[in-house]
Homo-oligomer: A and B are copies of this chain.
Amino acid sequence: MLQTIFWSVGVSRFALSDRLAFSKSKTNALVASLLDVGLLEETGLQDSTGGRRAETVQISTRLGVLIGVDLGATSLEVAILQPNMQVLARHTEPADVRAGPGVVLARVRALMGQLLQQCKLASKQVIGIGIGVPGPVDFESGQLVNPPLMPAWDSFSVRDYFKEEYAAPVFVDNDVNLMALGELWRLQHSLQNFLVIKVGTGIGCGIVCHGEVYRGANGSAGDVGHICVDTEGPRCHCGNLGCVEAMAAGPAIARMATQAAQDGQSPALAASLQERGTLTPEDVGQASRNGDAAANAIIQQVGAKIGQMLASVVNFFNPSHVFIGGGITRMGPLFLASVRQSVYQRSLALSTRHLEIQYTPLAEQAGLVGAGVLAMQETLKTWKGRP
């Protein structure tokens, strides 16, 4: 019941009885008793369809707070969230995940402390911690398994690291799975089968199947970065030729952009390169918006490769929606158009007839919200009546 209420933000008691398949009076009685013990709180009045005003409830914010952590390959983000996923405090900064768990997690722990202090909260008020990492995770043990972008983390237990300081349970999952979980929560299960593709330093995919995040037999489902899109393509760090990750993720985009800048094909990219020394998808997007032909060509090429990979995945999975997130979204609308064109050309008509391809609606917050949702969802599963 708490689980259903958590997944039904802003839903009236009336609609809630429907979702729980309980009678209205039983729902009212249960809600009343949960309000009494302080597990729920009322969130004001809402217009229901019948014109009457029905009260909505939510998990009580007085229960405590959640900490969400989103570790990327090149950045880290920490936030304090309320049980309704409202962000109380948040900090993001560049980081190199290859520095290893000792360095990176020490910084995360320091940031957790600072943010809690900022909110005038003590560590015992934290009821759950959710952490997303850019590699495959064995969900049961909370350990990373053979993470290609972060070899020093292999078999490291992120969960145990925070045990000393926090009594709250710690849950660890792959970053893209958490983006999918965040979107699923936002959508309140209104979509049952969709994908979230993250294109950053690597390429990964979160899968929602039958209304649940699907992790696969070994927790490695969604590892689409090594799908081959060109049998004659460049060699990937995995050893194979023409993986989409080697041809269309962040480093490949930076390489193509640098090439265009150095070859004199793009004055705009050359200027950015001179100014900052490196180029990102955002620079390419900016140059494209200013009409730079070389930047446009890079975006179309990258979009075509991602679209080709997606076409295979769409033929296989037939999702209703594909949401694209990660640093690549800064390349702008031309990128999305190129992806769509490539998918529609290569996928079957039936699979794409109602297919929507968009940027992630939660944008850069998807991973963090997902981390919070994971923490709250898993904490509720084992809730033993604390406060």
Contacts and interface: CB of A to CB of B under 8 A. Distances in A.
Nearest to A308: B228
Interface in A306-349: 308, 311-313, 315-320, 345-349
A225 to B, nearest CB: 8
B354 A228 contact: no
Given A214-B209, A228-B308, A350 B136 contact: yes
Contact of A351 (B207, B214, B216): B216
Contact of A316 (B217, B223, B351): B223
A222 interface: yes
Interface in A193-213: 193, 205, 207, 209-210, 212
Contact of A318 (B221, B230, B313): B221
A339 to B, nearest CB: 16
B316 A222 contact: yes
Contacts of A148: 348
A315 B226 contact: yes
B349 A217 contact: no
Interface residues of A toward B: which range? 35 or more
Contact of A210 (B212, B229, B238, B318): B212
A146 B223 contact: no
B209 A318 contact: no
What copy number does this chain have within its complex? 2
A10 to B, nearest CB: 26
A227 interface: yes
Given A136-B350, A145-B350, A226-B348, A218 B312 contact: no
A349 to B, nearest CB: 6
A23 interface: no
A53 B313 CA distance: 49
Contact of A315 (B224, B315, B317, B355): B224
A353 interface: yes
Contact of A216 (B146, B223, B317, B345): B317
Contacts of A218: 318, 350-351, 353-354
A187 to B, nearest CB: 14
A17 interface: no
A230 B193 CA distance: 29
A265 interface: no
A320 B217 CA distance: 5
Which of A216, A308, A353 has the most CB atoms of chain B within a 10 A radius of its CB?
A216
A33 interface: no
A315 B223 contact: yes
Contacts of A207: 316-317
A123 interface: no
30 contacts: A207-B316, A209-B209, A209-B210, A210-B214, A216-B317, A216-B351, A217-B319, A218-B350, A218-B354, A219-B318, A219-B350, A221-B316, A221-B318, A223-B316, A223-B350, A223-B351, A224-B315, A224-B316, A226-B348, A227-B311, A228-B311, A228-B312, A229-B231, A238-B348, A240-B345, A312-B312, A312-B316, A316-B316, A316-B317, A317-B317
The 10 closest A-B pairs by CB, nearest first: A216-B318, A217-B320, A221-B318, A220-B350, A227-B312, A209-B209, A220-B318, A223-B315, A220-B351, A312-B312
